[in-house]
Amino acid sequence: MLYMGTLNHVTISPLNDYRHEKLGDVYMPPKIVQIFEDKGACKKTNTQVTQYRDVFSTNGKVNPRIFLQGEAGSGKTTFLAKLALDWCGEPHVYSASDTSSIFFSDVDVLKGFSFVFHITLRHSVKQFDVYTFIKEQIIDSIYSQKDREKAYRLLNEIMKREQCLVLLDGLDEWTRPGDHHNLPTFVVDHSKCDVIFNTTLETDRG
């Protein structure tokens, strides 16, 4: 599968892109706490999120749009990669920490999504439509030129009819095509899709 090849290994040195390790061997779950909006301001709580079900719902209410925000190097990108691999059913061996496997162990929650699309936003600058992201980063990587039009039509039907999860990695690295597009967008027909954005805190950007 595509994700087994693209997400299963991570760079372990910021100075050397060629030094990789298997994600399951080095993965440490990030500390995630809930943030709520109060009078237009975001306030951090002491409630730690340790399971997938708490990512996708809060107090029984579904979260269709989720923002994962943190400092550079805090594990946001590897969290999304781990989520995608968990959805695929990829087994992991946790040597980095004996206790890390108890976090986000409820992988059955992910089976509620028929499809998971992992997108790296820095590879789709000057674009804003999520459907186009998926076409260019996933469909074009799987299908030859002659088969792509059929795959594009199938993708459109899937996003209209199936419960999909879109993982958008690196919102802070995405170059917006215009002032009126502050976030990547979905067409109305694709409103069944849930999405997780991850972004680095503004103060940490160089």
What confidence score (pLDDT) does residue 4 get? 80
Each domain of the chain, given as residue ranges in start order, spans: 2-204
> What one-character DSSP code corresponds to residue 94?
-
Which residues, in sequence order, are bridge partners of residue 20?
Answer: 11
- Among residues 40, 15, 10, 13, the alpha carbon closest in space to that of 28 is found at 10
The whole-number average pLDDT for the span 77-104 is: 76
Using one digit for the tens of pLDDT, what is the confidence trace for 111-130? 999 999 999 999 998 889 99
Instruction: Quickly state the pLDDT bin for 31 (edges 50, 70, 90).
Output: very high
**Burial (0-12, 13-18, 19+ Cβ within 10 Å), 84:** buried
What confidence score (pLDDT) does residue 184 get? 92
Out of 25-34, 37-46, 52-61, the most confident range is: 52-61
Q: Are 155 and 143 in contact (CB under 8 A)?
A: no
What confidence score (pLDDT) does residue 68 get? 95
What confidence score (pLDDT) does residue 172 get? 92
What confidence score (pLDDT) does residue 95 get? 46
Task: State yes or no: pLDDT of 42 exceeds 70.
Answer: yes
Q: 150 to each of 42, 62, 143, 164, how far by Cα in Å? A: 43, 33, 10, 19
The whole-number average pLDDT for the span 152-173 is: 96
CATH fold of 2-204 reads Rossmann fold (3.40.50)
Q: Are 125 and 175 in contact (CB under 8 A)?
A: yes
